[in-house]
Structures are given as structure tokens and as C-alpha cells.
Structure 1
Amino acid sequence: MENKALFEGPDISVHQGVVDIKRVRNAGCKRIGIRAGYGKNNVDQRYVPNAQACYNLGVDVLLYWFSYAYTVDMAAAEAGYAMAQAAKYWERCPVAFDFEYDSVNYARKNGVAITRELATDMAIAFLEKVRDGGYIPVIYTNLDYMRNYFDLERIAAQLGRMYVWYARYTSSLLDSETRAVDIWQYTASGRIPGVAGRVDMNRFYTDFAESTVPIHRPQKRNLNIQGFQAAANADGYRDADGNPLSEDGLDGPGTQHVRSQIALKARLSQGNYVVGSKGHLVEWWQQRCNEILARSQAVDGLFGKTARKDTLALQRRLSLKEDGIAGYNSIQAAFYN
């Protein structure tokens, strides 16, 4: 019987630039692959914002570490680096060993020829350490690597249980393939809202839901959030039940609901930006821009040319989408920076 895919999702890294995780989630992606890093403890430059957004928005992840190992000890060390990044947000989640052609070429430049035995030993070292650390071991592979580099039977016998992330860019898989893999990366040319340009897309045959546990962070009162809540109440915003926000400094469901309704922006008139949004929230936003950027725009509650300019500068500083609009993601970033 054919194994039916449960859902789809992209895998992303710094190469995709700024990704709008909320839009990806709203497009139906339940799980997103994120490169945590590569080689000797090189953290992907977009890992923290990507992982933090997934954590905050309740999106499950498949973390992966691009390997430049050419010894067993190096592979085990990479597993440690990967888990250190995972532990910032998840007590438990899938963590994949990503060993590809660039990995083999790097080893050659360092005088090491990667044999099937060595590749398999390195995979076991990485995946065993991931398993022993409480995370879910996943191996990224393709048809060539299954034939010439990874002895999956030996890896499975050593680990007891591992999961296979299979790259094959074709319109369909054989039934025997879909039964053997947990994730199918079916294209490198996918398109999805929230990601600019082409992106790898994956079909998940295994849910991993019970194997994904975010860390628990007791919330503390955040004065930036409390100021936002007071300003939103003063401007007449209400939560989904029609009630004013509790001014508790916590980014709870009510605050998130209100934030989703807000888009502070200037108005374009005859080719020039003039005052658009007005009110207490604009004052709050102007103050946060001043604090984050060390600037001194007037805190007058009028979102015009200067407020737009500073909004663009703040978005650039925090690696956000540069649209000059203070909306959901920009406001969330202003809470925590």
C-alpha cells in the first residue's frame, strides 16, 4: 500500500534570506526544515530568527547540520553543535545529518577519500550522539548516497530506529521508496508564500509531532509589551472576545490577536510619503524606533516620512522584511530587542 504524505514544508537557510514564517505556516506548512549550521560550529546566519519565529508561532521544525566532517570524531562533534542550537528552543525534535557532495569534496581537499565505510561510520557517530542527547536522528540521503556512501541497514541496526530524509527530484516515487522514507525532498525549485524565490520542498510521511517538544519558558513581564498593550487599549483595539488587553506585559493570545490587526504606515500622496497612521500605538512605535536605533524622531503619534524611514532602518537592523510598515513581525521584534 502506498504511503500517503501527511503534509508539506520547505527547508530553509541563510540562502533564502528573510523568510516570513507566519506566511509559510498560513500556507499550510506544519513543519519547516531549518539549517542550524555547518562544519565546525558555524551557526547558520539566519538560524536564530528562523528558529525563534517557528518557536513563537508554534511551527514544528526539522533541524539539520551540513557536515564537513572527514573523521568519526568530527561527525560526533557536529552532532554536539547541532544539539546546542536545538536546545535553545526545543527539548526534543528531529535533527538531521546532512552529508553531501560538497562534504566529500571538502574531505578530498584535506587529504581524505570518503569511502562507504567511513561515511557510514560518521553517520552512526552523528546520529547516535543525537539519539543519546534526546533528539530524533534523521539521515539526509539520495539514491546515489544510498548505493555508494551510506549502508542504511548497518546504520539502522546500530541505532535501532532512525528516520530517512530522501532527496529525489522526480514527479513521484515508487511505492517501495515511499514506504522506506519518512521525508521526501521532491524539488529544489518549489514556490511558497513567505519565501522569496525558489526553495526546497518536502513531503512528510512521518509526523514527528510527539517527538517535538519546545522548551518551556516561564513568561516574565516585558515593559515593551506592556507599553504596547496600554497604547492599543488607548487606541480602542480589543481582543478576539471584544475585551481590552490585560496590561500584563505578556505576549499572550489577546495581544497576538491585536497585533495581527495592526499595520502602522505612512500614506503615499503625489509621489511623497505623508502622515498616514495616527495615535498612541504610533507614539509607542516611534519610541521603540528611537530606543533601538539611538535616534530622536519626534514622538508625536504621526506616522509620516520620518517614521517610515526609521521603520525601514529598524527592519534592516533586525533582518525583517523591509516594507516600511509596522505590522505583526516588526512589532514582535520590537518587543524583544
Structure 2
Amino acid sequence: MRTALMLAVLAFATLSCGRSSPPPQQVEAKAFLSTTSPSVIFPSFGDAKPHEWEGRHPGHYPVHGLDVSRWQGPIDWRRAKSSGVSFVFIKATEGGDVADPLFDDHRRGAQAAGVPWGAYHYYYFCRPAHEQAKWFIENVPRGADLPHVLDMEWTPHSKTCTIRPDGATVRSEAKRFLDILESHYGRRPIVYTTVDFYRDTDIARLPKTEFWLRSVAGHPRNVYPKAAWRFWQYTGTGLVPGVQGKVDINTFNGPPEIWARWKAGG
């Protein structure tokens, strides 16, 4: 079956040669089912600005998913799932007083389509961690399929908060946020971060913490030397069926069997 599907994909690609690129909402991902876990699809999504990967690249990983916010607009979750989307992290809140207006729509749509979801909080360094954790809890119900996410990165373009605390302060506040959410939801959140923030704050020193790393021009093992990572955001310009325009795409670090155990909390 796997061979037949791969041949069908190759045939489709051959017939498509020479066509002009379709608009993003019409891009169809090439995918084939995992022989060890039929519920997981190995996708090959489009990209508005593709990177020429060297060595190990996103295609070596079978489990891919999205992170989305209001900027993606309404999403056809069933179509996205059928194209190979295995999970989604949805923006819920930022700081202590901003909520994403499409969070509930995205959450309910993903749930209805059977796409495992978690929520993320964009951290502002001008509010104490406990206030931001409280705001997140007020806006995100229990019942997520995945751990939630603390998004920590520098905010140089913010109109209200551009301070850059030292590493010890950042780690202390991050730990407080993670502890509060773990107590409330029963599972410790993941930390999403970027190359410069990771380097400047030494946030890898946080205990009991899994990381989701952004690296759109190189494998994490090269960009974040010696870092352990659970998720890798490998593009911010992905083209995925069911999603209008460009979207972030991520991969899970492991095969379908590990994904299933991890998702279940194992």
C-alpha cells in the first residue's frame, strides 16, 4: 500500500510540472500513510520561501503540525488534517490583558476535526509571571490534548514593552509561570523560544522543561548546539491545505510510536 501511494504521488508531481503555482489555499500537500501508525501522515507541505536544507531536514520526521493565531483567519481543519497536520498549538493570550479573538474558533474547529491541540501564551516582560499565568488560565479551559506552551522571545518591536531582563530573572519568572500552569492543568508546559533568546538567557537551564525551538535555516542540532528539543519550528512561510496564506509548520522529534506515547502523557 505504501509503495502504491508513493507512486501515485510521483505521478501527480509529474503531471503538475510546468504549471504556474496555485494560490496558497489550493496547495495540496503530498503525503503517505505511516505503515506503523495509520493515523499519522508523512506530509510534504508547500512553502512560499523554501529553504535548501543540507543534511538532516524536516522531511526526515513523520509528525508535523502547525501553530496558528488570528492572522491565519478561519481554517478548514478537516482538510488540514487530511493533508498531514497531526497537531496544532493555538495562540490564546499575551501579556496580562490580550486574548486572541480566534482562539475559541480555532480550538473548537481543531477538536471537531480530531486535530490534537494545545494553547500558547506570548510572554511580555513588563508584567509579573503570576499575572500572565492567571490571564492564561482565565482564557484557556482544561481538556487540551497537548501540554500548553510558554512563548518567550525578545520583543524589540513592541509598542509597550521592550525591556530585556537578565537571564536569572527570565528563568525565575518562566519557572513561576510553568509551575502555576502545571498545577492547574496537570502537565508542565513546553517553552518555545528563538536562537538569540536561548543564547542570551541560558533558558535551557530550566529544570523539568521541554523545548520547542525555532530554526528556519538549519537543523536545531547545528543552530542550538547540545540542545534537547521536543518540537522544531522549521518554517514561518508554510503553505498548507485548509489554511489561507502562510503559516508556521513544526515537527515533533520522534517517530509515530513515540508521538503517541508522548501525546498521551507517557
Q: TM-score, normalised by structure 1?
A: 0.54
Answer whether contact 2:235 2:250 (CA < 8 A) is retained: yes
CA distance in 1, matches of 2:137, 2:161: 23
Q: Are 1:136 and 2:188 an aligned pair?
A: yes
Answer whether contact 2:117 2:145 (CA < 8 A) is retained: no
Unaligned 5+ segments in structure 1 are 213-337
Deviations 1:87-125 (A, max 9, x none): 25x1663111112222785434xxx54221221112111
Q: Are 1:102 and 2:158 an aligned pair?
A: no
CA distance in 2, matches of 1:8, 1:28: 7
Q: Are 1:152 and 2:210 an aligned pair?
A: no
Q: Are 1:124 and 2:178 an aligned pair?
A: no
Q: Are 1:15 and 2:71 an aligned pair?
A: yes
Structure of larger gyration radius: 1
CA distance in 2, matches of 1:8, 1:172: 15
- Detail structure 1 runs of 4+ shifted over 6 Å in the superposition: none
CA distance in 1, matches of 2:116, 2:209: 19
Answer whether contact 1:13 1:46 (CA < 8 A) is retained: yes
Aligned twin of 1:303: none
Paired amino acid for 2:177: F
Q: Map 1:240-319; keep pairs closer than 5 Å.
A: none
Q: Map 1:80-229; keep pairs closer than 5 Å.
A: 80-87=134-141, 90=143, 93-102=146-155, 105=158, 106-108=160-162, 112-133=163-184, 134-153=186-205, 155-156=206-207, 161-174=208-221, 180-205=228-253, 207=259, 208-211=262-265
Aligned twin of 1:289: none
Paired amino acid for 1:94: P
Q: Are 1:36 and 2:87 an aligned pair?
A: no
Bigger drift between 74-83 and 190-199 goes to 74-83
Aligned twin of 2:133: 79
CA gap 1:79/1:93 in 2 versus in 1, 3 angstroms: farther
CA gap 1:118/1:179 in 2 versus in 1, 3 angstroms: closer
Unaligned 5+ segments in structure 2 are 1-55
Shift of 1:150: 3.8
Larger helix fraction of residues? 1
Answer whether contact 1:165 1:185 (CA < 8 A) is retained: yes
CA gap 1:19/1:33 in 2 versus in 1, 3 angstroms: same
Q: TM-score, normalised by structure 2?
A: 0.67
CA gap 1:136/1:145 in 2 versus in 1, 3 angstroms: same
CA distance in 2, matches of 1:140, 1:91: 17
Shift of 1:139: 0.6
Shift of 1:131: 1.5
CA gap 1:12/1:116 in 2 versus in 1, 3 angstroms: same
Answer whether contact 1:92 1:135 (CA < 8 A) is retained: no
Shift of 1:173: 3.5
Q: For this pair of structures, how many residues does the alignment match?
A: 200
Aligned twin of 2:109: 53
Answer whether contact 2:190 2:209 (CA < 8 A) is retained: yes
